[in-house]
Amino acid sequence: MSAIKRFFRWLFSPSARLSVIALLLIGLVLGAGAVVSTQVAVAMTGTNEFCGTACHSHAKFVYPEHKESLHYSNRTGVRATCSDCHVPHDYPAKLLYKAKAGIRDAFAEFGGVISTQEKFEQERWRMANHVWDEMRANNSANCRTCHVPSAMANQSSRAQRSHKRFFAGEKTCIDCHTGVAHKEPEEPSAPGDAAKPVEPAAAAPTASPAAQVESIKTTEAK
């Protein structure tokens, strides 16, 4: 205990050897190191590879869904990453969310909540609604980082009507676009019931980006 007491006494005692300038320089170096380290950590833990393979155990059956979506491959070549959609873009909200989500996901991983596809399909509806509720709460802020409704041109009459409701505050992006990056989950048949698991062999294949584009054009033309 005496060593600990001496350490804290030294830590909070005025310096008799270093000048104020030296202490300020040390503080600046330590602060800069902390900022750089934080940015490196955020960048390393924000890639698709980390989120889709290292962070979550459902990499084999969810990460491929994103690669088959229009957010990954499209005619414009603009690619949205996992963190683009799921993590706030501004500080300190980004750090707070990553810490909270990291702790939550770590407990889920250790508990094996979604360790198999069957378990994941049982939880898909609940988890999807959790994400959708987060997006509704911030008015789909992450969507609007890339998509600016007021700048959209050459839209169908249906899309224009939908975006008028967005500008009126009646709808937000996620209310209409729920299956743009992952397979649309099936709603349980009754409250409290889990969605029917989808076996790997029986799962419907995800349409290619080109087929999704044609499907969207057909829907908007109606």
| CB-based burial, 138-176: b 16+ in 10 Å, e otherwise | eebbbbeeeeebeeeeeeeeebeebbeebeeeebbbbee
Among the ranges given (36-50, 90-104, 117-131, 187-201), the one the predictor scored with the smallest mean pLDDT: 187-201
Average pLDDT for 132-138: 93
Given a contact cutoff of 8 angstroms between Cβ atoms, the answer to whether 52 and 59 are in contact is yes
Nearest-angstrom CA–CA distance, 37 and 46: 14
**Does the residue 57 lie in any domain?**
no
**Does the residue 122 lie in any domain?**
yes
Among the ranges given (46-50, 59-63, 117-121), the one the predictor scored with the smallest mean pLDDT: 59-63
**Domain limits for position 195:** 79-216
Residue 67 pLDDT > 60: yes
pLDDT tens digits, residue range 145-183? 988 888 888 888 888 888 888 888 888 999 988 888 888
Given a contact cutoff of 8 angstroms between Cβ atoms, the answer to whether 89 and 145 are in contact is yes
Question: Looking at the 3D structure of the chain, how many domains does it have?
Answer: 1
- Residue 140 DSSP label: S
Among the ranges given (71-75, 125-129, 205-209), the one the predictor scored with the smallest mean pLDDT: 205-209
Q: Which of 102-106, 126-130, 217-221 has the highest mean pLDDT?
A: 126-130
**Does the residue 45 lie in any domain?**
no
**Does the residue 170 lie in any domain?**
yes
**Does the residue 31 lie in any domain?**
no
Average pLDDT for 57-77: 79
**Does the residue 14 lie in any domain?**
no
Predicted confidence at residue 134, as pLDDT, reads 93
Q: Mark residue 220 as left, alpha or beta (left: phi above 0; alpha: psi -120 to 50; beta: remaining).
A: alpha
**Does the residue 207 lie in any domain?**
yes
160 or 63, greater pLDDT: 160
Predicted confidence at residue 1, as pLDDT, reads 63
**Does the residue 10 lie in any domain?**
no
